[in-house]
Amino acid sequence: MTSRRDFFKFAGIAGGAVAAASVSRVAMAALPEPVIQTSPDTMAPLVPNSGRPYNPVVTLNGWTLPWRMNQGVKEFHLVAEPVVREMAPGFKAHLWGYNGQSPGPTIEVVEGDRVRIFVTNKLPEHTSIHWHGQRLPNGMDGVAGLNQPAIQPGKTFVYEFVARRPGTFMYHPHADEMTQMAMGMMGFWVTHPKVKNPLIDEVQRDFCFLLNAFDIDPGSYTPKIMTMLDFNLWSWNSRIFPGIDSLNVRLNDKVRIRIGNLTMTNHPIHLHGHEFLVTGTDGGPTPKSTRWYEVTTDVAVGQMRQVEFLADEEGDWAFHCHKSHHTMNAMGHNLPTLIGVDHRGLSKKINNLIPDYMVMGERGMADMTEMEMPIPDNTAPMMTGEGPFGSVEMGGMFSVLKVRRDQKPGDYKDPGWFKHPEGTVAHEYEGPLSEPARFKAEGGQSMPRAQTLSQPTEVKVRKPQSHNGH
C-alpha cells in the first residue's frame, strides 16, 4: 500500500531524473538516462516540475516515468527488457516489460506537448511500440513491418509526435504481439487537457490501471505464450488480489478511474456502493448526452474506459471484475462439481495410497481457503485475502475502494479497515425460528408432470464402505 516510505522512494527516482536533466549540455545531446523501478508498490503521483502543470494520476501498483525537457521537447526513455514482477506477496513471475516492471511506467503529458520517446530493446527478439489511440504521423504508429522496421535486440529507436488530443491511452508492442503481450509488455498513457475542457471535469483522485492476463502453471515462473484464451491469472497492472493496492480516497472526493483492457476477453468492472458515469473512452471524452449512471461497465478487448463518481459513501467498497472466475487465481479446474457428495473418510483412505490426494468442493469451494492444502512453491492461493471479518475468498481482479472522512486531501495512504458505526453490520439473527412454508406444486400449470413417473429420480452416489461404518 502507498505510504510515506513509498513517496520518498519515488522522490528518490524523480530526483535522479532531475539530476540527469540538470547536468551538462553534452549529456543533453545524448539519450536521457533510463529510470528503472523494481518495486511493485503504488508510487505517489509525480507532480510535474517542468512543462505545463497538470493534476497527476496514480498508477495502481505502478509509477509515472520521469522525463527531461530538451529545448521544449519532453524526452522519455523506455527500455524493453525481461523483468521480475511480484504479482502478489510470495508469488513472482518472470515477465517482459519496460524499465524494470510489467506493466511499464505510465507516461503523462499535456495536450499539445511535443514528445520524444527513445525505445531501447534489451529483449532477445525484435520489438516495436504502438501508441494505442494517438493521433500521430503514420510512421510513428509503431506497427513493425507496416510503419517501421522492427527494433532489433540491442538497438534504440526514436518516436516523436505531438500529443494532439487529451485522454486515456496505452502503449504495447506491435511485433510478435501475442508473445510480447502474454509476457506483460504494455503501459498506460495519459494526456491531460491544456486548458479547461467542458467535457473533462477536475477531480481530486485520478487512478489508472491496465487489465492483463497470464497463464502461469502453479509452481512455475514464466507465462505460457501459446495460450489464446484459457489464461489462469487475471490481473490489474500484473498484480492479483490480495496484491492489488486499495484505492484510498477522502469522503466527497470526485474520483476518476481509467482502465485499459489488454487481455483477450472482456471484463465487466463493477463498483460497490456508488454509481459512476463513463466519461471517456480511448476515443476521448464522451459527449454528456451519452452518459448514464451504471455500477458495472464492460471493458472489451483493446478498449479503454474512464469512469467518474462522487465518493460520498464511507466504507470499504469492493471493486472488481464481475466474471467470478476472474476473481480467482490459478487452479486445476478440470474438476466435477462435488457439492452434495459426501467424501468424509474417503480422502483419508486415498491418502494412504496417494499422499497428496485431496477432495475439492463437496460443500462448495469456500472450504478451499481454509484447508491446509500443500501447494507448489511460487504459487498464489486460489482464493484468499484476510479481511476484518475473515477470508475474503477472492483472487485475481479484485480490490477495495476505501472512502474515509478523515483521509487528508492528496493522501493516498491505506487507512486500514473501515470502522463501522454501531449497529450497521449484518449479523446473526438470534430470535425464534419457524419452519418455512414450502409450496407443494410440482412444476407450473403449463407443463404438468407426467403421471407415469411414479418415483422421483435421484442420482445415486456409490460410496465406499469404511471400517468405522460410514
User: Among 77, 97, 75, which residue's Cα sits nearest to residue 34?
Assistant: 77
Contact at 8 Å (CB) between 43 and 59? yes
Beta bridge partners of 235: 212
Q: How far is the CB of 169 from Cu ion (least distance, A)?
A: 21
The secondary structure element, H or E, covering residue 177 is helix 177-182
The identity of residue 112, as a single letter, is G
Return the number of the residue (303 or 407) whose C-beta is nearest Cu ion.
303
Q: Considering the complex, what minimum distance in angstroms separates the CB of residue 398 from Cu ion?
A: 10
Q: Pick between residue 13 and residue 321 the one whose CB is nearest to Cu ion.
A: 321
Question: CB 265 → Cu ion: shortest distance, Å?
Answer: 7
Q: Are 91 and 378 in contact (CB under 8 A)?
A: yes
Contacts of 283 (CB under 8 A, 6+ apart): 133, 167
Spatial separation of the C-alpha atoms in residues 293 and 284, rounded to whole Å? 18
CB 323 → Cu ion: shortest distance, Å?
4
Q: Are 193 and 144 in contact (CB under 8 A)?
A: no
Handedness of CA 230, 235, 240, 241 (dihedral sign): negative
- The cell for 298 is 464492460
Q: Please say which residue, 85 or 267, places its beta carbon nearer to Cu ion.
A: 267
What minimum distance in Å lies between the beta carbon of 69 and Cu ion?
40
Task: Rank residues 166 and 223 by Cβ distance to Cu ion and give the closer one.
Answer: 223
Binding site for Cu ion (CB under 5 A): 267, 321, 323, 326
Q: Closest separation between CB of residue 385 and Cu ion, Å?
A: 17
Work out the number of other CB atoms within 10 angstroms of the CB of residue 73. Answer: 15
Query: Which CB sits closer to Cu ion, 58 or 321?
Result: 321
Separation of CA 346 from chain center: 40
C-beta closer to Cu ion: residue 140 or 181: 181
